[in-house]
Amino acid sequence: MLDELNPAQREVVELRRHCVAVACPGAGKTKTIATKAAMLLGEPGATVGAVTFSKDAALELRERILALSGPGAKKRLLAGTFHSLAYKQLGGGSESAPDIATDGDRTGLLIQVLSDAGLDWKVEDAIAAIEAIKTNFGQVQADTPEALLYQSYQDALERNGKIDFQDMLRLAVDGMQRGTIAPYPLTYLLVDEFQDTDPLQYQWIALHAQAGSIVTVVGDDDQSIYGFRSALGFRGMESFIRQFEAQPVVLGNNYRCHAEILGAADRIIRNNRDRIPKELVAHKGPGGEVLFQRYPDEYAEAVAAMEYLGPALREGQSTAILARTNRILDPVEAVCRSHGIKYYRASGKSILSRPEAALMCNLLELVQKTKTAGVDALLSFAGIGTQELKLIHRKGRASTDQRQKKELLEMGLSENSADRYRELMKRLAEWRSLCDRQFYSLVLEGVREWMLKHTDVDQAKRAITTTYDVLTRLNGPFSERLDFLHRDNNEPAPDALILTTMHSSKGLEWDRVWIIRAEETVVPDEKSTESEERRLFYVAVTRARAQLRISTAKKNPTSRFVLEARLE
């Protein structure tokens, strides 16, 4: 096994003291961890723990370790996530195990707690505040809304005999500190993605080290991109080295990227001050390509990406488009649809799945008279309430026929609703006339304008605009365009173009990568720190194996990170 490792990887595997392996992107860290675990399990009587952040990663690591060490080591290997291992310490799997609150339980309890406490908070904001407090060992400043929220929520959980996901780790750590829960009796403990540990997870590891486990943590402070989740990053790695006199070992060989890509990434990340120094070496050597381009707008940018990545997909290369947020991928999806490119949105829902997109399609079918039902939904969207719709139905089914205002008022509709009804029917008649004369673009423009006028919800506006953008890039009658639109090709497949965010791209890699909207105000995002945004951009750049494109729409100045990479 050792023959397949480079000198730094071998040093990590052979160390029998606390160790911090600083693994650059593509450094083969999983291979190193699995090999070390297998070697440790070869020691008579040794027990080994392997901890990761996700269930899938834990299962994969367990399988790789057992494949190297053999099934005989299975009983001496403990592999899992922080939370699953903490839950076992609390009695998970036994009759005395605490009941875990589901997301629905938590939401229901919080709605009641917020109401009782008189707090005008959104549920998601309350969840974020509670999670931050639990990560901080349940400590919160007294006499604050946060303290009231936290105590009321914990009381509600206790009344219902439940704990939540964050409580698993908090209670396990608290029990180990009090001496009521024993740390796992591990000879060795291996921890992956250590840069992502929060204070609670760090303490769980530290308590095992203090109990006698020899700990090896593997991570990269330059890839710490979860500061908003209280990830410790550089501070955690430095703290572990000092607290336990751990031996740092840099795994600087990158087996993923060609030198041109790794060089650009290195020039970017060196602008961060608080980081562990490391020399990055591209094992593949030169032969890659990095280009930067500007486009007039996000649609021209998306079309260029399709024209570049489409042939690569047909050749069997893996491809991805990365963006700072899921929202930025909407125009790209519109272009994928109109170009017939198979794609998969890997980091969030498609905007085309919003009800407003379906409603626009329904309206266009009414315009083309290929559908007669669905008027109620449009009238409701226009602001006519359920009770007034019932009044309309008493005089016969709601139809697309125009009615006199006097008749509508006599039915019991308000004057405002009568005007909205008549406006929609008037517009519908105009659109039908234009459709008969094949003035499809004018109809689409009118439908988009009417729908945007009746909503002030940002996501609804995006759904309407994106649907409009897709349909305007297609040809023929609306029936043909809608048939094309309804062919949902947004599914994972080996030959699909991946559309995802920079955060979700972590741990993944592709032959060709295109980073879009690399602009100031987009990345770095003003809601985050510059150093974390630089690490996020570094992660995005190092996803590419051979070819990397970075681009902007000319809405904003070019991102400082592109300038740092010296691509201009």
Per residue in 42-67, pLDDT (tens digit) is: 999 999 999 999 999 999 999 999 99
Residue 540's nearest CA partner among 561, 567, 563, 564 is 561
Q: What pLDDT does residue 547 have?
A: 97
Which of the residue ranges 80-84, 175-179, 183-187, 310-314 would you say has the lowest mean pLDDT?
A: 310-314
Residue 448 has pLDDT above 60, yes or no: yes
**Residue 547: its H or E element:** strand 544-553
pLDDT-based confidence at residue 410 (cuts at 50, 70, 90): confident
- Taking the C-alpha atoms of residue 491 and residue 341, their distance in angstroms, rounded to an integer, is 12
Residues making up the annotated binding site are 23-30
The mean pLDDT of 186-199, rounded to a whole number, is: 97
Residue 465's nearest CA partner among 449, 484, 442, 454 is 449
pLDDT-based confidence at residue 321 (cuts at 50, 70, 90): very high
Residues making up the annotated binding site for ATP are 23-30
Residue 490 has pLDDT above 80, yes or no: no
Per residue in 241-270, pLDDT (tens digit) is: 999 999 999 999 999 999 999 999 999 999
Mean pLDDT, rounded, of the chain? 91
**What's the half-sphere exposure (Cβ side, CA atoms, 13 Å) at 130?**
27
The mean pLDDT of 272-284, rounded to a whole number, is: 95
- Taking the C-alpha atoms of residue 85 and residue 208, their distance in angstroms, rounded to an integer, is 12
Q: What pLDDT does residue 566 have?
A: 87
Which of the residue ranges 176-185, 300-309, 404-413 would you say has the lowest mean pLDDT?
A: 404-413
- Report DSSP letters for 201-223, one per residue: HHHHHHHHHHTT-EEEEEE-GGG
The mean pLDDT of 416-436, rounded to a whole number, is: 91
Per residue in 99-126, pLDDT (tens digit) is: 898 888 899 999 999 998 888 898 999 9
Query: According to DSSP H, which parts of 229-329 are helical?
Result: 233-244, 259-269, 298-314
Residue 366 has pLDDT above 60, yes or no: yes
Q: What pLDDT does residue 295 have?
A: 96
Per residue in 493-504, pLDDT (tens digit) is: 888 999 999 999
**What's the half-sphere exposure (Cβ side, CA atoms, 13 Å) at 401?**
10
Residue 470 has pLDDT above 70, yes or no: yes
Residue 568's nearest CA partner among 267, 253, 165 is 267
Q: What pLDDT does residue 488 have?
A: 64
pLDDT-based confidence at residue 546 (cuts at 50, 70, 90): very high
Per residue in 142-153, pLDDT (tens digit) is: 989 999 999 999
Give the SS3 label for residue 511: strand
pLDDT-based confidence at residue 396 (cuts at 50, 70, 90): low
Percentage, residues of the chain above pLDDT 90: 68
Residue 221 has pLDDT above 90, yes or no: yes
Q: What pLDDT does residue 400 have?
A: 67
Residue 411 has pLDDT above 90, yes or no: no
CB 194 within 8 A of CB 237: yes
pLDDT-based confidence at residue 85 (cuts at 50, 70, 90): very high
Residue 401 has pLDDT above 80, yes or no: no
- Taking the C-alpha atoms of residue 401 and residue 37, their distance in angstroms, rounded to an integer, is 74
Q: What pLDDT does residue 395 have?
A: 62
Residue 524 has pLDDT above 90, yes or no: yes
- What is the DSSP-derived secondary structure letter of residue 184? P
CB 208 within 8 A of CB 215: yes
pLDDT-based confidence at residue 481 (cuts at 50, 70, 90): confident
CB 219 within 8 A of CB 276: no
Higher pLDDT, residue 203 or 368: 203
Q: What pLDDT does residue 352 have?
A: 78
Q: What pLDDT does residue 172 have?
A: 95
- Taking the C-alpha atoms of residue 12 and residue 21, their distance in angstroms, rounded to an integer, is 7
Per residue in 333-354, pLDDT (tens digit) is: 888 888 888 899 998 787 778 8
The mean pLDDT of 21-25, rounded to a whole number, is: 96
Higher pLDDT, residue 95 or 437: 437
